[in-house]
Structure 1
Amino acid sequence: MDSLSSYYSGLPPTMHRDFCETYKNLPTDLDHHSLVYLSIQFHNGILWGDVIAEMNKIRVTTQSEYDSIFERFVDTQRLVNSLNHRLLTEFNLDPIYAKWLVTEGRLGIRKSALLINILRDSVMSSEDSLDDPSYSLLLQSLLLVNESIMKIELGLRCKPACLWVIRNSYPFQALTIILKHIQQHPNQGVNFRMLPVDEEYTVDELFDYLNGDIRAPLVRKCIQSLEKIKILWPAVLLTRFDGVIKVKNEVL
């Protein structure tokens, strides 16, 4: 529960990390889709707690500490992808509902991936890296924004009563990163054709992810989706959202 609270609130976890090691002993032969879904949330929550704790500590992260948390991210992503595959194939679920459940798992991975890329940029200079850290951060931001859109739109279609879950989609940081990249590189075409082959994301059949520049269309689509749930936000989130819209109007 502590890890899930941290995952949804963005606040550092209070549970001691050694206690969380028990998650490695959780059963993997879960026989109900709800248990698989909760397991995905739990593993994402543990990873999120690790990342938040690393970013909130006073001492600067070392290369070995970054490598350790990145390894945990890779292991968690592999596990979440395999559990998502079970949700899509092993249970007789409505396809839209199954897709929504899978989106929640992917969104958790993307949230952690965004912070891990920021953490990497604080540890490594661009000269030490084989690729451009800011470009990697941009791709993670686009993936996060896409999953947020799909979480809202699919949730409103199949489970409108679960707005308490949907309301937690507010990728303001990712939107700001994308808008800043557009401002600095207005003519650079970016799409998901540039992603690694094994990178998973939830697909909107009406959106072209592989051709042209998807940055501005994704930003506009995300803001349209967020407009549908902003009534559920406290004043502080509404203020932040207004700030994102102001930047969007200046850039696009």
Structure 2
Amino acid sequence: MEYALITGATSGIGYELSVLFAQNGYGLVLVSSSKEHLENTENRLNEQYSVPILIYEQDLTKQGAALELYNKIKQEKLDVTVLINNAGFGLVGATDEINLSIDEQMMMLNVINLVSLSKLIILDMYQNKKGKILNVSSTGAFQPGPYTSTYFASKAFVLSYSRAIRYEAKARGVQICILCPGATKTGFFRREGTTTPNKAMLPEQVARIAFRGLMKNKEIIIPGLKNRLLQLFPLKIKMLSVARMKKKKQRLK
């Protein structure tokens, strides 16, 4: 059986992607830092689907966590043909005001362990001459983000890195796609410390678009017409808009 490994799988886009892969007959390898949330998710999915589900509690904000996770999966001898690097979080504030330790944890999750897990899994995919990787970036990847500087930069890294390895992997039978969602009604904004925008997309909408794009091997997947149109604006205008919005949210915290 083919398995989809999904990080940040217990809520939001990650959970909705888990549902879609289960509906399409994939076994699931679900990863989260919360054992309780994993068990609740496993129970919910088991009520509706008969696919095998394996859960792994792993805090991907820690150095070396991706290798630890990979070694656990290898012990199970699972055929992971899809990797969804979905786990991530953001921070709002001027760069001198954001806690350094939390900023480092975010970069470890959003960048370092995403790269590590991609590198480890892609080696197996190359051996098998098949596989799909979906790395979750953001519309924030397309411009710098004042008052959310490290987060936007981390997502710009994900976009650039994923496009590069997509080029490398093409001749090896492996597909790399990048999901760049805009505002989505998940726990992201709560963790960021701000309110969810009223016009944010539903996670199930984003997940459906992401799943279709991945299966069609679309390079960059931007859910929502508004989010796609926004990319036509000049970079400086987008950057000023981000700065005003995030600074206002910071004052409201």
Fold match, TM over 0.5?
A: no
TM-score normalized by structure 1?
0.36
Structure with a larger share of its residues in helix: 1
1 or 2, which has the higher strand percentage? 2
Q: Which has the higher contact order (CA 8 A, sep 6+)?
A: 2
